[in-house]
């Protein structure tokens, strides 16, 4: 199954060119929608829930980064003429996969998309692996906690202690005093899971526990479990447990 | 904090006042507290000295007349006259008798009188008028206390009686202050009569109290409790009459006593029962001291006033230049810079002001220069801003061109646009001073791609980057200018095929960069021996590369240019691999 892509770009010629030039099928992608401004982009993303969003930053109505922050976006690529430092920092915080500068070399864009596809596939394998041990009746994802490796055990306890904050691989690596790439490689090797997937799975588990408090709404739960946006939380949740948090909560409430 | 800040002037004023007033205060304090007493003590000592000396003088006078009394009382003629007790005989020898008397008495008729009387009273002789009081014919009782002769009963046989008891006015009007009495005996020792020498006040008063120290001076007869003033010789009587004497309380040993406002000094007159006492009133002294206080107060007030004036002047002379300097510095604070002529006459202050003026001058110059530079800078900035185009517009436009080219299948336009975009990204939009060699080579690649599109088949290139060097950082834009130079100056003028090679590789501990072309080359002579002199030649592009590299690597840089006319040019650069 091809991964879905939404492309947001305000210049019509550029939009047309990218749509026609990129060999989507060959990359295992399906372009499901294009938008000319930030508001339309947001509506489209919420409707289509694409796997990948490609967007410019300077857009009418709402800029690309604000749009990404308010939607349940898993993976994003930025195409922009701007090398502004604050934009780049914001993009990194939003977990943007790559930041390509205009004029965009189409070959480079294809390369970036190819490596993103590869990454998504890896993540899917992780999720599948997790799902394999998981029956639909289970209320949480089974995550091993001990791996007989000092660094990974420390990384796991870092996740346990800091999941509610806005942290990721970079913060964990800094905290443990190892390089990001080393931690990433070692984590995958020892646990069989991607660090980020482990972190997200742990966060999802914590959110399930938090749902038991009827006074908390989904947005509050998302924030308290370290998800940057409720949309992103919903997306991740669905990937792991097959339902959106709201649906999940409904089924949780009725039998009791 | 602020309220503790006193002015320099105020502080100096206080210090100077203290320094100048202290001696004045100490001096006055001493006189006010101790002056009175010390003055009195000094006066007492002085009095005692004078009274001792005067007692000696009085003693001498008495001794002299005692001797005269002895002389007369033992004179043969006088004894004979007394023995005969006959006035006729007196008349007979009178021309011998009176000269004798006057000779012995030295003719001091105004100092003393000598009186002789026989027991019967028939013979009565005197250097003056014979005093009736000594006329024994009228003495009815031996207890007539006013008579000197009446006292002889208590007298030893040979001694002279010296007494002040017989005080009276003599017939010549003078005051008899003391009398010396001797008995006259015949050869068998029978008492024939008496000799009395009456001493007038003048006998003493002329020799004593010459300094006029004492207001009064008394001759005291302790035995008779009788005192006589030697100043006012008509004043005499018992001690009650002289209140100051009571202060002595019967003790006449030589000393000075102060009683109330009176100082009394007393000293014994040698070998007599007499004492001499001088009194003086300290009322006079107090008045003196009061006057002295007045003088001191005057000095004090004058001194304080002078001290204040001098303190003020001194303080001002020191503080004024500082204050003026401070005021001027304050004015500088308000951006009003101006040098002023030096005013202070104190060399240090003058120096300070001089330095300050020099400093102000320098600051003024510096400010002018800075303003000038700022003006130039803002002018430059304005010009830069005017000439600058928004790079985002440029990049977005290139992106649109690229998209159009792609849509219209213009592959060459597409390529040239993308490469130009990359080229501009790494030059215009790159604010780093360094770049990895991989980036530098990517830039060369973009550049050469564009040039190849321009020149087509004619330009052949070879670019090699040693993978070991990919991540090594060097100053950015060091290879591209050399490549550009090679194309513009080496290859463009040349007819025929062009070849350009760029090679970056690690050789030992060095990175070797070579840019080589087969262009027209140039004459070796146009290259200076020292590459630092390239700046003055036409090879400015090469010079800029050389300069930036030599700043980064200093002595570790090797930079050579080889060129042969018609054959081509080789630029070789060797830089260390390690971090600088």
- Note whether residue A129 is domain-resident: no
Q: Is B395 within 8 Å of A81 when comparing Cβ atoms?
A: yes
In terms of residue numbers, what domain contains A143?
A: 135-253
Highest mean pLDDT among A165-169, B309-313, B465-469: B465-469
Predicted confidence (pLDDT) at residue B437 exceeds the cutoff of 60: yes
- Secondary structure element (H or E) that encloses residue A53, with its range: strand A52-55
User: What pLDDT, on a 0 to 100 scale, did the predictor assign at position B356?
Assistant: 80
- Note whether residue B363 is domain-resident: yes
Give me the number of domains chain B comprises. 3
Give me the number of domains chain A comprises. 2
Tell me, yes or no, whether A25 and A70 share the same domain.
yes
Predicted confidence (pLDDT) at residue B179 exceeds the cutoff of 50: yes
Which residues in chain B are closer than 8 Å to A81, comparing Cβ atoms? Answer: 392, 395-396, 399
- Residue A55 forms beta bridges with which residues? A8, A78
Torsion of CA B500, B501, B502, B503, to 10 degrees: -170
Tell me, yes or no, whether A68 and A165 share the same domain.
no
Kindly provide the ipTM of the predicted complex, given to two decimals.
0.72
Better pLDDT: A113 or A242: A113
Tell me, yes or no, whether A107 and A195 share the same domain.
no
Predicted confidence (pLDDT) at residue B359 exceeds the cutoff of 60: yes
CA nearest to A14 within chain B: B403
Tell me, yes or no, whether B378 and B440 share the same domain.
no
Report the pLDDT averaged over residues B39-58.
86
Under the banding of pLDDT at 50, 70 and 90, the label for residue B143 is very low
Last residue of a domain, one of A90, A124, A158: A124
Q: Provide the sign of the torsion angle of the four alpha carbons A104, A106, A109, A111, taken in this order.
A: negative
Highest mean pLDDT among A201-215, B435-449, B537-551: B435-449
Tell me, yes or no, whether A60 and A140 share the same domain.
no
Under the banding of pLDDT at 50, 70 and 90, the label for residue B240 is confident
**CATH of residue B558:** 3.30.565.10
The beta strands (E) that lie in A74-188 are given as 75-80, 98-101
Under the banding of pLDDT at 50, 70 and 90, the label for residue B158 is low
Q: Within an 8 Å CB–CB cutoff, is residue B421 touching chain A?
A: yes
Which residues in chain B are closer than 8 Å to A11, comparing Cβ atoms? Answer: 396, 399-400, 403
- Name, in order, each residue with C-beta under 8 angstroms of B392's C-beta and a sequence gap of 6 or more: A81, A82
- Residue A8 forms beta bridges with which residues? A35, A55
3-state SS, residue A69 = helix
Better pLDDT: B571 or B528: B571
Tell me, yes or no, whether A109 and A9 share the same domain.
yes
Interior CA angle at A58 toward A57 and A63, to 5°?
70
Quick one: tokens of B247? 């202060």
Predicted confidence (pLDDT) at residue B575 exceeds the cutoff of 80: yes
Q: Within an 8 Å CB–CB cutoff, is residue B402 touching chain A?
A: yes
- Residue A7 forms beta bridges with which residues? A34, A54
Last residue of a domain, one of B204, B223, B242: B204
Tell me, yes or no, whether A148 and A104 share the same domain.
no
Q: Is A106 within 8 Å of B406 when comparing Cβ atoms?
A: yes
From the CA of B396, how many Å to the nearest CA of chain A?
6
A103 prior amide bond cis, ω within 30: yes
User: What pLDDT, on a 0 to 100 scale, did the predictor assign at position B145?
Assistant: 47
CA nearest to A108 within chain B: B418
Q: Is B425 within 8 Å of A101 when comparing Cβ atoms?
A: yes
Under the banding of pLDDT at 50, 70 and 90, the label for residue B338 is low
- Note whether residue B362 is domain-resident: yes
- Note whether residue B168 is domain-resident: yes
- Note whether residue B194 is domain-resident: yes
State the Cα–Cα distance between residues A236 and A252, nearest whole angstrom.
18
Question: What tens digit of pLDDT does each residue of B475-529 get?
Answer: 988 999 999 999 988 898 888 889 999 999 998 889 999 999 999 988 877 777 7
* Burial B366-395, CB ≥16 within 10 A → b, else e: eeeeeeeeeeeeeeeeeeeeeeeeeebebb
- Note whether residue B483 is domain-resident: yes
Last residue of a domain, one of A65, A93, A124: A124
Report the pLDDT averaged over residues B252-272.
84
Q: Within an 8 Å CB–CB cutoff, is residue A23 touching chain B?
A: no
Q: Within an 8 Å CB–CB cutoff, is residue A18 touching chain B?
A: yes
The burial of B81, by beta-carbon neighbours within 10 Å (0-12 exposed, 13-18 middle, 19 or more buried), is given as: buried
In terms of residue numbers, what domain contains B194?
A: 61-204
Report the pLDDT averaged over residues B290-306.
80
Tell me, yes or no, whether A113 and A215 share the same domain.
no
Tell me, yes or no, whether A120 and A35 share the same domain.
yes
Chain B residues 366-395 within an 8 A CB cutoff of chain A: 392, 395
- Name, in order, each residue with C-beta under 8 angstroms of B196's C-beta and a sequence gap of 6 or more: B114, B115, B116, B117, B134, B148, B149, B166, B179, B180, B181
Pick from B330-339, B544-553, B559-568: least confident = B330-339
**Who among A20, A103, A105 is closest to B407 (CB)?**
A20
Tell me, yes or no, whether B453 and B569 share the same domain.
yes
Last residue of a domain, one of B160, B178, B204: B204
- Note whether residue B130 is domain-resident: yes
Nearest to A54 by CA among A39, A70, A73: A73
Chain A residues 75-104 within an 8 A CB cutoff of chain B: 81-83, 101-104
Nearest to B162 by CA among B58, B298, B88: B58
- Note whether residue A183 is domain-resident: yes
Could you tell me where the DSSP H helices lie in B118-225? 201-205
- Note whether residue B266 is domain-resident: no
- Name, in order, each residue with C-beta under 8 angstroms of A2's C-beta and a sequence gap of 6 or more: A24, A25, A28, A29, A30
**CATH of residue B71:** 3.30.450.20
State the Cα–Cα distance between residues B277 and B344, nearest whole angstrom.
70
Chain B residues 177-196 within an 8 A CB cutoff of chain A: none
User: What pLDDT, on a 0 to 100 scale, did the predictor assign at position A30?
Assistant: 94
Across chain B, what does the average pLDDT equal?
Answer: 82
From the CA of A62, how many Å to the nearest CA of chain B?
19
B486 HSE (CA, 13 A, CB side):
30
State the Cα–Cα distance between residues B340 and B329, nearest whole angstrom.
12
From the CA of B476, how many Å to the nearest CA of chain A?
18
Quick one: tokens of A132? 């394999």
Predicted confidence (pLDDT) at residue B341 exceeds the cutoff of 70: no
Under the banding of pLDDT at 50, 70 and 90, the label for residue B155 is low
**CATH of residue A10:** 3.40.50.2300
Percent of chain B with pLDDT over 70: 89
Report the pLDDT averaged over residues A132-144.
69
Report the pLDDT averaged over residues A186-206.
87
3-state SS, residue B361 = helix
Tell me, yes or no, whether A85 and A140 share the same domain.
no
- Note whether residue B341 is domain-resident: yes
Q: Are A52 and A76 in contact (CB under 8 A)?
A: yes
Tell me, yes or no, whether A71 and A104 share the same domain.
yes
Last residue of a domain, one of B180, B204, B228: B204
- Regarding pTM above 0.95, the answer is no
User: What pLDDT, on a 0 to 100 scale, did the predictor assign at position B2?
Assistant: 42
**CATH of residue A163:** 1.10.10.60
Tell me, yes or no, whether B442 and B569 share the same domain.
yes
Predicted confidence (pLDDT) at residue A5 exceeds the cutoff of 70: yes
- Note whether residue A159 is domain-resident: yes
Tell me, yes or no, whether A115 and A226 share the same domain.
no
Last residue of a domain, one of A71, A89, A124: A124
Tell me, yes or no, whether A118 and A174 share the same domain.
no
């Amino acid at each position: 199954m091809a991964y879905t892509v939404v492309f947001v770009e305000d210049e019509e010629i550029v939009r047309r060119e990218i749509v026609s030039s990129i060999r989507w099928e060959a990359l295992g992608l399906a372009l499901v929608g294009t938008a000319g401004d930030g508001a339309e982009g947001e509506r489209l993303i919420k409707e289509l829930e694409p796997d990948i969003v490609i967007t410019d930053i300077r857009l009418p109505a709402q800029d690309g980064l604000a749009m990404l922050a308010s939607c349940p976006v898993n993976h994003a690529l930025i195409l922009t003429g701007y090398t502004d430092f604050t934009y780049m920092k914001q993009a990194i915080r939003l977990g943007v996969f790559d930041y390509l500068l205009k004029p965009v070399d189409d070959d480079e864009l294809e390369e970036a998309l190819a490596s993103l596809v590869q990454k998504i596939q890896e993540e899917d394998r992780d999720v599948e692996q997790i799902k394999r041990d998981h029956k639909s009746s289970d209320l949480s994802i089974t995550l091993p906690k001990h791996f007989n490796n000092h660094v990974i055990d420390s990384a796991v306890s870092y996740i346990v202690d800091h999941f509610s904050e806005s942290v990721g691989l970079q913060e964990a690596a800094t905290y443990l005093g190892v390089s990001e790439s080393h931690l990433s490689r070692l984590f995958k090797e020892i646990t069989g899971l991607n660090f980020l997937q482990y972190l997200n799975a742990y966060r999802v588990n914590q959110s399930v526990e938090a749902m038991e408090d009827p006074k908390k709404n989904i947005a509050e739960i998302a924030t308290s479990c370290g998800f940057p946006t409720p949309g992103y939380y919903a997306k991740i949740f669905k990937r792991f447990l097959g339902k959106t948090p709201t649906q999940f909560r409904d089924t949780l409430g009725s039998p009791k | 904090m602020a309220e503790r800040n006193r002015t320099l002037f105020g502080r100096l004023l206080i210090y100077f006042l203290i320094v100048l007033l202290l001696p004045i205060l100490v001096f006055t304090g001493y006189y006010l507290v101790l002056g009175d007493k010390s003055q009195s003590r000094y006066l007492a000592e002085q009095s005692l000295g004078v009274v001792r000396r005067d007692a000696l003088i009085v003693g001498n006078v008495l001794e002299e007349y005692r001797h005269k009394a002895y002389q007369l009382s033992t004179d043969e003629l006088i004894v004979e006259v007394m023995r005969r007790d006959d006035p006729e005989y007196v008349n007979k020898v009178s021309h011998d008798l009176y000269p004798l008397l006057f000779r012995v008495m030295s003719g001091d008729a105004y100092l003393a009188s000598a009186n002789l009387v026989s027991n019967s009273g028939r013979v009565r002789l005197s250097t003056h008028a014979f005093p009736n009081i000594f006329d024994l014919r009228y003495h009815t009782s031996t207890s007539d206390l006013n008579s000197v002769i009446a006292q002889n009963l208590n007298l030893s046989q040979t001694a002279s009686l010296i007494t002040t008891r017989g005080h009276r006015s003599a017939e010549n009007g003078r005051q008899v202050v003391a009398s010396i009495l001797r008995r006259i005996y015949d050869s068998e020792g029978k008492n024939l009569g008496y000799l009395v020498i009456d001493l007038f006040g003048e006998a003493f008063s002329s020799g004593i109290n010459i300094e006029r120290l004492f207001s009064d001076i008394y001759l005291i007869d302790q035995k008779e409790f009788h005192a006589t003033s030697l100043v006012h010789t008509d004043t005499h009587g018992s001690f009650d009459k002289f209140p100051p004497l009571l202060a002595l309380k019967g003790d006449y040993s030589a000393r000075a006593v102060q009683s109330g406002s009176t100082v009394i000094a007393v000293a014994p007159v040698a070998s007599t029962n007499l004492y001499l006492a001088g009194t003086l009133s300290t009322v006079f002294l107090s008045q003196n001291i009061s006057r002295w206080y007045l003088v001191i107060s005057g000095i004090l007030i004058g001194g304080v006033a002078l001290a204040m004036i001098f303190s003020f002047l001194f303080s001002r002379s020191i503080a004024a230049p500082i204050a003026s300097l401070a005021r001027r510095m304050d004015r500088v604070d308000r951006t009003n810079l101006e040098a002023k002529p030096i005013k202070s006459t104190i060399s240090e202050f003058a120096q300070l002001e001089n330095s300050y003026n020099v400093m102000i001058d320098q600051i003024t110059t510096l400010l002018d220069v800075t303003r000038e530079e700022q003006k130039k800078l803002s002018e430059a900035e304005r010009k830069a801003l005017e000439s600058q185009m928004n790079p985002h517009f440029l990049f977005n436009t290139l992106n649109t061109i690229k998209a159009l080219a792609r849509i219209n299948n213009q592959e060459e336009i597409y390529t040239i646009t993308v490469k130009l975009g990359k080229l501009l990204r790494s030059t215009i939009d790159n604010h780093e001073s360094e770049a990895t060699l991989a980036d530098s080579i990517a830039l060369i690649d973009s550049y050469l791609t564009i040039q190849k599109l321009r020149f087509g088949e004619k330009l052949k290139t070879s670019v090699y980057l040693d993978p070991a060097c990919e991540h090594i950082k060097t100053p950015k834009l060091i290879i591209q200018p050399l490549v550009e130079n090679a194309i513009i100056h080496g290859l463009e003028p040349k007819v025929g095929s062009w070849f350009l090679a760029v090679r970056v590789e690690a050789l030992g501990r060095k990175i070797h960069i070579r840019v080589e072309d087969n262009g027209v080359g140039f004459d070796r002579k146009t290259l200076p021996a020292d590459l630092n002199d390239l700046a003055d030649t036409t090879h400015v592009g090469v010079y800029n590369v050389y300069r930036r590299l030599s700043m980064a690597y200093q002595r570790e840089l090797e930079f050579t240019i080889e060129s042969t006319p018609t054959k081509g040019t080789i630029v070789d650069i060797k830089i260390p691999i390690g971090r600088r």
